């Protein structure tokens, strides 16, 4: 069983390196590509040292239109900033691999770099990325061109994979599939924003039907489908049936939940004592077919260490 360990919440870990508020800026952590690139580099390195096989670029909120608007820079300068984000991740990987080259105890000696691509709705700053309402009113061509401009720049900078993540509506998922057809040599994973306690993405679409349809539309190009930024306890209902039953081709799954804490616009993240730790769910998730596993908001480098340990313990139990 080949399971890739992802990194965690970039903003959470970045906050350990800066003495200022990370949340609240229109560009989120992407602003630190300009204001504190050393902290961005250090955050990547933290996750690598924690055992991540895959790190994501600090580009979730860094679309070209958003960079131009909120930094008052040109399109060309915005493209260069996306290239810088990839370069910082590459530098961290290069430095890390040199450091561990002779350490036989290290499992992640060849880390991959994945380009983080958040949804169109995140650029609107009206909360619509949490319900996908824009899918009904935004022309598909607008969504396609918005994604394509960033993907063009990031692919040209040289990455291993695309992370098309937190997708909240079926219209955007279909637009993304159309975009990916233009890059047949680039692989990607597709991860959805889903409702809790249901089997739906946040716009009400059936998660299993939509995600498996997307996967089968581009076989071999989409490496996994799944969910991110949802409480660990809500992952199981979404993923448990995708690989059930005979006759179905195996579909690699991905999950990178948040900490399970509750977010309030007024109070920020609030501890949720009723949420079991992510590690307690890992054995059943691996049985479902999860092959990419990590963390999202409020998941630190220490959490990634715990995830890798839990995955290794599961593998050992299977060998006995």
Q: Which residues are annotated as a binding site for Zn(2+)?
A: 229, 296-297
Instruction: Quote the CA–CA distance of 152 and 188 in Å, as a whole number.
Output: 14
Q: How many helices (H) and strands (E) does the chain have?
A: 11, 10
Give the helix/strand (H/E) hosting 225. Answer: strand 222-228
Sheet holding 4-5, edge to edge: 4-5, 290-293, 253-256, 222-228, 188-192, 161-167, 112-117, 54-56
Evaluated on CA atoms 115, 121, 127, 132, the torsion sign reads negative
Residues that constitute the known binding site? 229, 296-297
Instruction: Quote the CA–CA distance of 206 and 221 in Å, as a whole number.
Output: 22
End-to-end CA distance of the chain: 14
Q: Which residue has the tokens 């504190």?
A: 36
Instruction: Quote the CA–CA distance of 222 and 169 in Å, as a whole number.
Output: 18
CA distances from 148 to 27, 93, 188 (A): 19, 26, 14
């Amino acid at each position: 069983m080949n399971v890739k360990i992802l990194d965690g919440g970039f903003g959470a870990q970045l906050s350990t390196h800066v003495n200022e508020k990370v949340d609240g800026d229109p560009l989120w952590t992407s602003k630190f590509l300009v204001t504190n690139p050393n902290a961005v580099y250090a955050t990547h390195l933290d996750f690598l040292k924690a055992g991540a096989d895959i790190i994501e670029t600090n580009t979730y909120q860094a679309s070209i239109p958003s960079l131009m608007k909120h930094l008052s820079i040109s399109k060309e300068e915005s493209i260069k900033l996306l290239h810088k984000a990839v370069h910082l991740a590459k530098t961290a990987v290069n430095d890390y691999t040199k450091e561990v080259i002779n350490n036989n105890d290290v499992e992640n000696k060849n880390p991959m770099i994945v380009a983080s691509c958040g949804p169109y709705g995140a650029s609107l700053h009206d909360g619509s990325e949490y319900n996908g309402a824009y899918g009904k009113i935004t022309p598909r061509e607008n969504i396609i061109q918005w994604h394509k401009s960033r993907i063009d720049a990031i692919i040209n900078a040289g990455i291993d994979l695309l992370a098309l993540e937190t997708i909240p509506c079926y219209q955007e998922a279909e637009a993304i599939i159309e975009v990916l057809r233009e890059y047949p040599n680039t692989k990607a994973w597709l991860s959805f924003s889903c409702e809790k306690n249901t089997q739906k993405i946040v716009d009400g679409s059936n998660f299993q039907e939509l995600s498996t349809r997307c996967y089968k539309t581009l076989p071999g190009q989409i490496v996994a489908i799944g969910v991110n930024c949802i409480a660990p306890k809500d992952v199981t209902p979404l993923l448990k049936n995708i690989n059930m039953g005979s006759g179905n081709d195996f579909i690699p799954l991905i999950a990178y939940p948040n900490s399970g804490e509750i977010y309030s616009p007024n109070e920020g993240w609030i501890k949720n004592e009723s949420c079991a730790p992510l590690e307690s769910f890992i054995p059943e998730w691996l049985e479902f077919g999860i092959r990419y596993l990590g963390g999202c908001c409020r998941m630190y480098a220490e959490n990634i260490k715990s995830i890798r340990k839990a995955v290794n313990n599961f593998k050992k139990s299977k060998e006995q």
